[in-house]
Amino acid sequence: MTEHLASFPVLSCMLLAPPLGLFVLLFLKEEQQFLIRVVSLVAAGISFALSIYTFAAYDQKLGGLQFVEKYEWVKTFGITYFVGVEGMNAPLLLLTGIVIFTGVLTMWELQDRVKEYFIFQLALVTGVFGVFMSYDMFFFFLFYEIAVVPMYILILIWGSTRKIYAAMKLTLYLMAGSGLIIPGILLLYASSGIFTFDMVRLHAVQFAPWVQKLTFVMMYLGFGVLAGVWPFHTWSPVGHVAAPTAVSMLHAGVLMKLGSFAILRVAMYLCPQGFQYWAQLMGLLAATGIVYGVFVGLAQTDLKYVIGYSSVSHMGIVGLGLATGTVDGLNGAVFQMFAHGVMTALFFSAVGFIYDRTHTRDIHELGGFSKIMPVASAFFITAALCGAGVPGMASFWAELLVLVAAVKVFTVRGLFAIAALVIGALFALRVVQNTFFNEPNPKFIHYEDVSPFLGLPRMILIGFMIFFGIFPQVMVGLIKTSIIPFIQGL
Amino acid sequence: MNMMLFGPELYFLGMALVLFFLSLQRRVRVEQTYYVALWLSVGGVVLAGWCLFQEGELFFKAYKVDLFSQIFKAALAVGLFLVLMISRNLAHVEERCHPEFYLFLTTCTLGMMMLVSSVELLTIYVSLELSSYSLYILVPLRRGDDIDTEAGIKYLFIGAVSSGFMLFGLSYIFGATHTTYLAEIMPKMGQLIQNPIGVVGLLLALAGFFFKVSVFPFHFWAPDVYQGAANQVTTFIATASKAAAVAMLLRFAALGASFGYSFAEALVVLSIASMTLGNLVAIIQKDFKRMLAYSSIAHAGYILMGVLTMKEAGYISAIYYALAYLFMNFSVFLVIHEVASDGRDLKIPELAGLWYRSPLLTMTLILGIFALAGVPPSIGFTGKLLLFTSAMSSGYFWLVLIGAVNGTISLYFYLRVVYHAYFLEPGPRPKIHLSWPSRLLNYGVCGIIIGFGVFPDRIVELAKVAARLVL
């Protein structure tokens, strides 16, 4: 892979803006709530702006790794600070920027322990940015854990619905995944013979087949826990339901992508033979996840559970795309990570607003909610349409790419997945109807609709969703620049 | 003889003398004694730092001053200073015993400083006992319920037994090699490779250090002593004393470097047993210090992972981890000391509402706990990852896998602490006001935990030079 050094440390700035904001927050008083929010918003905004910049400024003709920064960190153990951008992580950095920025705006009304909330949220997002840009496995894993652990506290304190249980379950599941990842990473490190954590250099090493098979399956399962791969997904609906709005957004929107991105970036990239060996299993689990997520989601009456299970099925699409190992499949998988991220963020953001007012997420209790809060409902309905894969939305193209590739490679599984998604789409419309277009519940009549300021984050999300729905080529073209060399390396 | 070579030891000997004379006073001036001890320990830190790059041999080559020993001497001096920082309020020690308390802490530090420099079997033994005897006295110094006496007796008995084991092992080694100098034993150990006497002798000789680091099966004292001793003494045992013992463990285990399979295998078993037992039993503990005792048993298992590789990378990571452990454990004890300022044993539920009572302490506690659990960005994470890396590089795949699984298990009880401190409501408990030195200490410890976790290179490079000197 060609590496183009950065003239200005854009990525480091993107990475360091949140912790810098965090540091400033430490010296603010709990009472200065407005200042706390502004500082968090500025920190998130800087990262957001820089993520747009890298997305737009990435030179597609040049290709390869751009904005590279590389410093030796611990020479004795072969650790380097190595960050860069290529076609497959640029969309995800952008996604993280979008979700954190809108997430801070969504939590604008938070009253309880505001300072601590934003401290942990900024810590978490630092980890997410770090994972997406790191090309050194030490830092990759370091940021991965930073992204996972603050979740515990965020859910525990600002969450709802069985939060104590959910927080512990989520953390233990994800850390159990880490327990598989560490030996996997270190096995590659030790058996490479060059004792480096640098992924690009490790990629050049031909690992023995058994090492690849063993490492791949450990990393697939370990990262798969976070990616919500069936049957290791059970933490995710529970966790999403319990988490506060912005954390659900970050978590379903971005964190789960860490898992699937890591499978692509670390496991598949470094162990191509291992991937070939386990591809069938990946395809099977992914297809099962799609079908399972759709049908279990149908039975839910809590809106957040509906979204939680739809995430399982949508992440199944990502997994299916990865398992095909074809250009279209991987393109679609990365696109789907982005599209699903924006979509779920919108989902949770919309539900969060409704829940903050009504304190219920029960479909039947909400009844004809669109008559009470037309704008808030519209946000949810847009997300639902996107989730159903309506053309004109970003996820339509992503799902299309994946499913076409899947039918070619795994015909039966692909067809099952398509059937499940179609049924899922029908039922999603029914959920929308039951929640928003029945008789309105008189209890909620007096509630105000979303103000323009609070609507802003949702508008941003919808904007991105539709923009990439209308111009999918912008995204696909960019992703392709890295997927084609990637496939050749497999 | 260059006095500076023996500088830190002489200084602490002098400090012990000063404290001894203070203890002879008819009326104890509590404040004055404390400040004398504290400022003397500050001087000790400065001097130990000053002597960091001294090199030489003393006392007929029984005593070696090199970077390896000097790093640990500096760590010990810092450890003593940190413990004295939280000793201003010795609630559970009788006032007339205060000078003795400082005196024995100093002699213990002195003993351990000599220990890390000793390269001759008898010198090692004498230094080890000097530090142990001081602790035997310190542990039951706590006034109050009977648990202190029980802890003291347990510590003495298990300590004596492991010393016995150690002497027995040393006699084997001496018998087989006809020398007491490590430098002369080292080349002869290769010949003992087929001979069980070598393996048994070395393992038994290590018993004394296993006791100090609380490796299974010499861990039984830890929970009771941690709980029974005064909080400050426990802090000292859990931080400085551990670091010194790891240093000696490294020096001694290096004898087995050429030993190969059977010796390393024995250590693998001990490592796995220690971390699994420690982590599993810690889950059900309600007393905070008891939980930390089991966590220390688990950490002893982690450190063994680095020791048993007998390679440079393993030694570097073990040294790094020993130093890291000193700070992260101290940060947790600092919180215990501030919350239980009357010197009582702290139950974990008593941490409830700490986020409201003192946000700064909560930050320190969370960072310390996360570091112990191996969560980034902290010295604990980096240290653990380096340990795993070195063990994996030496081919111990299963050991690393078990270690990683253990890390997950341990997270459960560490998160329970976070849960209590950060989630539960404070109830009627008042806010905690920290004095400014205590605040500075909090910031300092937090800074070290994060700073050296993200930028480990300096320490690793130092540890690398040190590791080469022992292997």
Band of the pLDDT at B299, cuts 50, 70, 90?
A: very high
Domain of residue A82 covers 3-489
- Nearest C-alpha in B relative to A164: B419
Which two tokens mark B154?
């347990």
* Interchain pair B407, A138: CB under 8 A: no
* Interchain pair A190, B316: CB under 8 A: no
HSE value, Cβ hemisphere, 13 Å, CA-based, for B4:
12
State mean pLDDT over B132-158: 81
Interface size, chain A vs chain B, as Cβ–Cβ contacts under 8 Å: 91
Q: How far is B466 from chain A (nearest CA, A)?
A: 13
Residue B274: per-residue pLDDT = 92
Residue B276: per-residue pLDDT = 92
Residue A61 has pLDDT above 80, yes or no: yes
Residue A87: per-residue pLDDT = 86
Residue B19: per-residue pLDDT = 86
Q: How far is A134 from chain B (nearest CA, A)?
A: 15
C-alpha–C-alpha distance, residues A187 and A182, integer Å:
8
- Nearest C-alpha in B relative to A151: B415
Residue B187 has pLDDT above 80, yes or no: no
**Closest by Cβ to B389, choosing from A142, A168, A189:** A189
C-alpha–C-alpha distance, residues B112 and B245, integer Å:
8
Residue B180 has pLDDT above 70, yes or no: yes
State mean pLDDT over B70-92: 86
The model's pLDDT over A244-291, given as tens digits with 9 standing for 90+, comes to: 888 888 888 888 888 999 998 888 888 888 888 998 888 889 889 888
C-alpha–C-alpha distance, residues B429 and B349, integer Å:
12
Helix (H) or strand (E) holding A355: helix A327-358
C-alpha–C-alpha distance, residues A118 and A111, integer Å:
12
State mean pLDDT over B43-60: 82
The model's pLDDT over A186-235, given as tens digits with 9 standing for 90+, comes to: 998 988 888 888 888 888 888 888 888 999 999 999 999 888 888 888 88
Q: Give the percent of chain A with pLDDT over 70.
A: 100
Residue B427 has pLDDT above 90, yes or no: no
Partners of B306 on chain A (C-beta within 8 Å) are none
Domains contained in chain A, number: 1
A190 touches B at CB < 8 Å = yes
* Most B CBs within 10 Å, among A31, A76, A124, A174, to test the B interface: A76
State mean pLDDT over A67-71: 88
Band of the pLDDT at B258, cuts 50, 70, 90?
A: low
Average confidence score pLDDT of chain B = 85
Q: What is the pTM of this model?
A: 0.90
Residue A132: per-residue pLDDT = 92
Contact criterion met (CB below 8 Å) for A184 and A202? no
Comparing B344 with B290, the larger pLDDT belongs to B290
**Going by C-beta distance under 8 Å and a sequence separation of 6 or more, which residues neighbour residue B345?**
B227, B287, B288, B289
A28 touches B at CB < 8 Å = no
* Most B CBs within 10 Å, among A151, A175, A178, A197, to test the B interface: A175
Task: Tell whether omega for the bond before B196 is within 30 degrees of 0, i.e. cis.
Answer: no
B456 touches A at CB < 8 Å = yes
C-alpha–C-alpha distance, residues B381 and B372, integer Å:
8
* Interchain pair B316, A76: CB under 8 A: yes
Average confidence score pLDDT of chain A = 86
C-alpha–C-alpha distance, residues B242 and B322, integer Å:
7
Q: Give the percent of chain A with pLDDT over 90.
A: 14
Contact criterion met (CB below 8 Å) for A149 and B375? yes
A16 touches B at CB < 8 Å = no
ipTM attached to this prediction: 0.87
Residue A42: per-residue pLDDT = 93
Partners of A134 on chain B (C-beta within 8 Å) are none
Residue A237 has pLDDT above 90, yes or no: no
* Interchain pair A189, B393: CB under 8 A: yes
Residue A166 has pLDDT above 60, yes or no: yes
B283 touches A at CB < 8 Å = no
Running DSSP on this structure, what letter comes out for residue A251?
I
C-alpha–C-alpha distance, residues A207 and B395, integer Å:
15
The model's pLDDT over A137-146, given as tens digits with 9 standing for 90+, comes to: 999 999 998 9
Partners of A171 on chain B (C-beta within 8 Å) are 411, 415
147-186 of A, contacting B, C-beta below 8 A: 149, 152-153, 156-157, 164, 168, 171-172, 175-176, 178-180, 182-183, 186
* Interchain pair A195, B408: CB under 8 A: no
State mean pLDDT over B95-113: 87
The model's pLDDT over A424-456, given as tens digits with 9 standing for 90+, comes to: 888 778 888 888 887 777 777 777 777 778 788
Residue A407: per-residue pLDDT = 86
Residue B272: per-residue pLDDT = 92
* Most A CBs within 10 Å, among B358, B401, B406, B455, to test the A interface: B401
The model's pLDDT over A372-427, given as tens digits with 9 standing for 90+, comes to: 778 888 888 888 888 887 888 888 888 888 888 888 888 888 888 888 888 888 87
CB atoms within 10 A of CB A372: 24
Which two tokens mark A382?
């847009």
Partners of A145 on chain B (C-beta within 8 Å) are 375-376, 381
Q: How far is B444 from chain A (nearest CA, A)?
A: 15
Partners of B447 on chain A (C-beta within 8 Å) are none
State mean pLDDT over A83-99: 90
Residue A47: per-residue pLDDT = 92
CA dihedral (A6, B385, A257, A164) in degrees, to 10, reads -140
Q: What 3-state class would DSSP assign to A421?
A: helix
* Interchain pair B376, A183: CB under 8 A: no
Residue whose C-alpha is closest to residue B320's, from B363, B378, B402: B378
B377 touches A at CB < 8 Å = yes
